[in-house]
Amino acid sequence: GWPAILVPEAYGGLGLGWVEVVALLELAGESLLCAPLFSALCLGASALLAAGSEEQRARWLPPLAAGNAFVTLAWQESGRNPPREAPQTTARSDGPGFVLSGRKRWVPDGAAADAIIVAARLDDSRTEGAITLFLVPADTPGLVRRPIPALDLTRRFAEIELREVRLPATARMPGDGATTLGRILDRAAIGLAAEQVGGAQRCLDLAVGYAKGRVQFGRPIGSFQAIKHKCADLLLLVESARSASYFAACVAAEDADELEAAASLAKAYCSEAYFRCAADCLQIHGGVGFTWEYDVHLHLKRAKAGEAFLGSPSWHRERIARQMGL
């Protein structure tokens, strides 16, 4: 099934790559999919493949591939930019294991996940301030999860609280947590950009379909030059956003050094393209587009929420500028 697309064949998956993930997520965005596919692929499976130990992969990847469980990622502690702030959640050594304390907000599908990968700051003298990832099963004592409302009605978020959560040493994910987390979030941004391309395409299709059928002054409104120009501009936006999305997918598939720049390029451009397409689609529909009988307002809300999720367009453009030395 779909959750198996990134999982290697050795763990029961399809063993495909990020180009295939982007193609799938584009369709998911087009249909406003409410299932936790994005979390399972771009956060859970991606993080396990990037940082999981062999034991952690063997435990979680097979059920994820089968669609029987999914894992998400908790890294954000406020709703503000920068989206990759240093965590205040701490992990202190306690005998053979660790004790986690802190709070995470805006955890995608955090209330339903079977396990959550938590970014925490090691609180010991040898590695003070180092970021480490921990795999926390949902039934761990001390882990409290609360759903939180969001503008996007099609994507669920949660707040999680870690109240002296005790974990064995095997819960720690090996490697440099800060570097690994950055690359996980870059790939997630590429996945989100693909969803946004699909949503933008759907908004264009809805706008053109409505313009062909809505009659005013004795003829379809799509025959008016202003509507034609608007739809043509949206087509250019959709196709250019799709190009940015697939370029980033190819970079992610090759694990190239340009991953950070490609992710920021795709996220910044596709976020703005989706919102523009949704807003103009609503303008073509008029007031009826914001009724429950039409999906236009759902796309508008998802587009606006998606702009801020995983970094706003301005944050990503600033990051590209820093890389260029500007």
What is the Cα–Cα distance from 247 to 197, expressed in whole angstroms? 13
Q: Is residue 94 helix, strand or coil? A: strand
Beta bridge partners of 194: none
Please tell me the chain's helix, strand, coil percentages from 3-state DSSP, rounded to the nearest 5. 55, 20, 30
DSSP tag of 45: I
Residue 91 CA neighbour count, 13 Å, CB half: 26
pLDDT at 78: 76
pLDDT of 80 reads 62
**Angle of the 296-308 helix axis to the 259-285 helix axis, nearest 10:** 150
Cα 45 to Cα 33: distance, rounded to the nearest angstrom: 18
Domains of the chain and CATH, by start: 2-69 (1.10.540.10), 74-174 (2.40.110.10), 178-323 (1.20.140.10)
Helix (H) or strand (E) holding 107: strand 97-108
Q: Is-contact 190 241, C-beta < 8 A?
A: no
Token pair, residue 64, equals 């994820």
- Rounded to two decimals, the pTM is 0.94
Element (H, E) at 230: helix 225-254
Q: What is the pLDDT of residue 79?
A: 64
Task: Please report the DSSP string for 161-203 in residue order.
Answer: EEEEEEE-GGGEEPS-HHHHHHHHHHHHHHHHHHHHHHHHHHH
Cβ(252)–Cβ(190) under 8 Å?
Answer: yes
User: Per-residue pLDDT for the chain (326 aa), expressed as one digit of tens each?
Assistant: 788 999 999 999 999 999 999 999 999 999 999 999 999 999 999 999 999 999 999 999 999 999 999 999 999 987 665 567 778 899 998 888 999 999 999 999 999 999 999 999 987 645 656 889 999 999 999 999 999 999 998 999 999 999 999 999 999 999 888 899 999 999 999 999 999 999 999 999 999 999 999 888 989 888 899 999 999 999 999 999 999 999 999 999 998 889 999 999 999 999 999 999 999 999 999 988 889 899 999 999 999 999 999 999 999 999 999 988 88
Contact in structure between 198 and 270 (CB atoms under 8 Å):
no
Query: CB within 8 A of 1, min separation 6: which ones?
Result: 65, 66, 67
